[in-house]
A and B are shown apart, each in its own frame.
Chain A
Amino acid sequence: MPHLLRPQVYVPAGALAVLVILPHLLPNVFYIHILIMMFLFAALGGAWNLLGGYGGQLSLGNAAFFGVGAYASTLLVNFYNLSPWIGMLLGAMVAMLLSVLVGAICFRLRGAYFAIATIGLAEVLRLAAHHFRDLTYGAQGITVPFKGSAPLYFQFASKIPYYYIALLFMLGVILLTRRLERSRLGNYLVAIGQNQEAAEALGINSAWAKQQANFLMALITAFGGTFYAQYIYFIDPPSAFGLGLSIQIALVAIVGGVATVMGPVLGAVIMESLIQFTQIAFAGTSYGLELIVYGALLVVMILLRPTGLIGWVSQGYGAMLRNLPGGGLVEGVER
């Protein structure tokens, strides 16, 4: 197995091994929680990246899909005692149907129009979740019924199973993005993102390509919503359908670097550590500070480095690989 000796293989494999062992080494469940949130947002940002990054369609309404996944699984377990594992699949189906509606209305629109249209659709769902109290308990929110240690009901006694589920979820999105990047659909999306007229002149069916990415985005984001609701045990209209969540999902991809496989992962690591650690550092003494830093980071990035931070990281990573044992052999073979 000569290629096991290549750093392109053993470095990611080693990193993965560390991530697998890590929850058993961490001294405090709080760190496990931060990692879970990082994995979740890496997956959500990765889903946004499929249509927003590669396809250039900047959605600010992904909370719509997230909320559908969160509410569907929670309402079904609440009213029909249906396992959230099944609720997750049903929620994802509803989200994919919703994505057809989103596509039908929004795919003719460009740029800010598209973003505003997606905000509007997500806001309608948020307000509906607020209004239909008999079903959703409105602003009060819903608590997931506690069943103790019940893996069939997506409930576990410790954070570690949630950690592995979130890790697998993120890895799934990374692998999917890698595949998409090398596929015909991925190339179509990049062409559409750069210049839709030119792409269509070359015979690309832009509506079809965007809807394929939209399906994937809806599916993954709804899964994320189900995971979040079952992990936190509580949802309400702003946490499931809010504009703040939609913005956060997009920012993860943008800060890391759009239209790259690992950009959203980097973005999630930066944004989540920023939010979680500033929250501890200033707990109770001040409010809004972490979001000031977060917004300022976004502004500075857009002005100084609009392609995201991943460029620097991957340069450093490439240099590291070349200097590791076995690295010189493959120089120039892979990018």
Chain B
Amino acid sequence: MQWTTIAQAVMTGILMGSIYALVAIGLTLIFGVVRIVNFAQGEFLMVGMYISYWLWRLFGLDPYLSLLITMPAMFLFGVLVYGVFFRRVIGAPDLAQIFLTVGLSIVLMNLALFFFTADFRSIRTPYGDLTVNLGGVILSVPRLLAFAGALLFGLLLYLFLWGTNTGKALRAVAQDREVAMLLGINPERMYWLAVGLGGALAGGAGALLLPFFYVFPTVGVTFVLIAFVVVIFGTLGNIKGAFLAAFIVGVAESLGILFAGGDMGLIVVFVILVLVLAFKPSGLMGA
């Protein structure tokens, strides 16, 4: 096997890892602040993809431009989901929290099936088939752009969380709700902000994914399962951990496909999950 083949797989994994990072950071952010594991995070991505898809289909809007609509729309969607659903199960038993979001995921997935049918849809862009050749490693331009976009959103989120007062307040609530309240932070505001940001990140991932991936009602399922692996691997609630773990998982999946065949990529991902849970359930960043 030539080194370029392996380098190709590693690069493909890194580029895909950036999409996993966006979905997983949203998931881990919501968990960190609101303490709810959002089983519907994959459907947030799916809704984001359909928004960008229809903006392209109906108005010819380029998916990268549609980020400007899809991300704010998904932010509002997240806030709405928080206000109508999540708010009522904060601090509730695990059963209520888990199965509320499972129920939401079922509803969203099947609303998409009802309105848009099970068709696999894709868009055509002038740059969709472009590639660049880096010393024998061939990379698709939309995947590179997705990677760049994900890094940009990651950086913006970092600047927001570590550089602004609101961001610091958000992290304070994630660290210790009671102390944050004593410091005069309104946790309610942070809760809806976190779910909104989680929605916007998933929407961003959806728009970035669209130029090189099919959209269909159950597209989110694989992504949310991978995001679960990423957030547990990177320590649930830890944003930097999720960012790092996303790339590791992306590369592991890609190498699994290279060495063992198409459907083995995901097996590798879930074996990582089982091994992490068996030997270090607190994850990479855990004590």
Q: Which residues of B contact A243 (CB under 8 A)?
A: 221, 225
Say whether A306 faces chain B, with CB atoms less than 8 Å apart.
Answer: yes
Say whether B281 faces chain A, with CB atoms less than 8 Å apart.
Answer: yes
Determine if B92 and A117 form an interchain contact, defined as CB atoms under 8 angstroms apart.
Answer: no
**Given A287-B118, A292-B111, CB of A127 within 8 Å of CB of B273:** no
Say whether A116 faces chain B, with CB atoms less than 8 Å apart.
Answer: yes
Chain A residue nearest in CB terms to B112: A288
Spell out A's residues near B (CB within 8 Å).
56, 58, 60, 104-106, 108-113, 115-117, 119-121, 123-124, 127-128, 130-131, 243, 247, 250-251, 254, 258, 286-289, 291-292, 294-299, 302-303, 306
Consensus secondary structure, chain B interface: helix
**Given A131-B261, A254-B95, A295-B110, CB of A123 within 8 Å of CB of B281:** no
Determine if A258 and B95 form an interchain contact, defined as CB atoms under 8 angstroms apart.
Answer: yes
Determine if A117 and B273 form an interchain contact, defined as CB atoms under 8 angstroms apart.
Answer: yes
**Count of interface residues, chain B, beta-carbon cutoff 8 Å:** 46
Q: Which residues of A contact B102 (CB under 8 A)?
A: 60, 247, 298
Given contacts A56-B95, A288-B113, 13 further A-B contacts (CB under 8 A): A113-B277, A119-B225, A251-B99, A254-B95, A288-B109, A288-B110, A288-B114, A289-B110, A289-B114, A292-B106, A295-B105, A299-B107, A306-B95
A19 CA to B106 CA, complexed, in Å: 33
Determine if A127 and B94 form an interchain contact, defined as CB atoms under 8 angstroms apart.
Answer: no
**Closest 3 interchain pairs by CB?**
A295-B106, A288-B113, A298-B103
Closest Cβ of chain A: how far from B260's Cβ, in Å?
8
A123 CA to B229 CA, complexed, in Å: 12
Determine if A292 and B107 form an interchain contact, defined as CB atoms under 8 angstroms apart.
Answer: yes
Question: Which B residues, 38 to 72, have Cβ-Cβ distances below 8 Å to chain A?
Answer: none
7 contacts between A and B (CB under 8 A): A60-B98, A111-B94, A116-B37, A117-B274, A131-B267, A303-B100, A306-B96
CB-contact partner of A116 in B100, B109, B117, B228, under 8 A = B228
Q: Which residues of B contact A58 (CB under 8 A)?
A: 94-95, 98
Determine if B281 and A113 form an interchain contact, defined as CB atoms under 8 angstroms apart.
Answer: yes
Determine if A123 and B103 form an interchain contact, defined as CB atoms under 8 angstroms apart.
Answer: no
Say whether B270 faces chain A, with CB atoms less than 8 Å apart.
Answer: yes
Determine if A112 and B103 form an interchain contact, defined as CB atoms under 8 angstroms apart.
Answer: no
Determine if A302 and B110 form an interchain contact, defined as CB atoms under 8 angstroms apart.
Answer: no
Chain A residue nearest in CB terms to B102: A247
Chain A residue nearest in CB terms to B218: A244
Q: How many A-B residue pairs have CB under 8 A?
A: 128
A115 CA to B94 CA, complexed, in Å: 10
Q: Which residues of A contact B94 (CB under 8 A)?
A: 56, 58, 110-112
**Given A254-B95, A295-B110, CB of A120 within 8 Å of CB of B100:** no
Q: Which residues of B contact A294 (CB under 8 A)?
A: 106
Spell out B's residues near A (CB within 8 Å).
37, 85, 88-89, 92-100, 102-107, 109-114, 117-118, 217, 221, 225, 228-229, 232, 236, 261, 263-264, 266-267, 270-271, 273-274, 277-278, 281
Determine if B104 and A295 form an interchain contact, defined as CB atoms under 8 angstroms apart.
Answer: yes
A289 CA to B93 CA, complexed, in Å: 29
Determine if A116 and B261 form an interchain contact, defined as CB atoms under 8 angstroms apart.
Answer: no
Determine if B270 and A124 form an interchain contact, defined as CB atoms under 8 angstroms apart.
Answer: yes
Q: Which residues of B contact A123 (CB under 8 A)?
A: 225, 266, 270
Determine if A121 and B274 form an interchain contact, defined as CB atoms under 8 angstroms apart.
Answer: yes
Q: Which residues of A contact B273 (CB under 8 A)?
A: 116-117, 120
A104 CA to B104 CA, complexed, in Å: 31
Determine if B110 and A116 form an interchain contact, defined as CB atoms under 8 angstroms apart.
Answer: no
Chain B residue nearest in CB terms to A297: B103
Chain B residue nearest in CB terms to A105: B278
A297 CA to B107 CA, complexed, in Å: 10
Chain A residue nearest in CB terms to B264: A131
Interface-centre pick from A120, A128, A286 (highest chain B CB count, 10 A):
A120
**Given A124-B267, A306-B96, CB of A106 within 8 Å of CB of B277:** yes
A297 CA to B99 CA, complexed, in Å: 11
**Given A288-B217, A303-B88, CB of A127 within 8 Å of CB of B266:** yes
Q: Which residues of B contact A302 (CB under 8 A)?
A: 89, 96, 99-100, 103
Closest Cβ of chain B: how far from A285's Cβ, in Å?
11
Chain A residue nearest in CB terms to B222: A123
Determine if B103 and A105 form an interchain contact, defined as CB atoms under 8 angstroms apart.
Answer: no
Q: Which residues of B contact A124 (CB under 8 A)?
A: 267, 270-271, 274
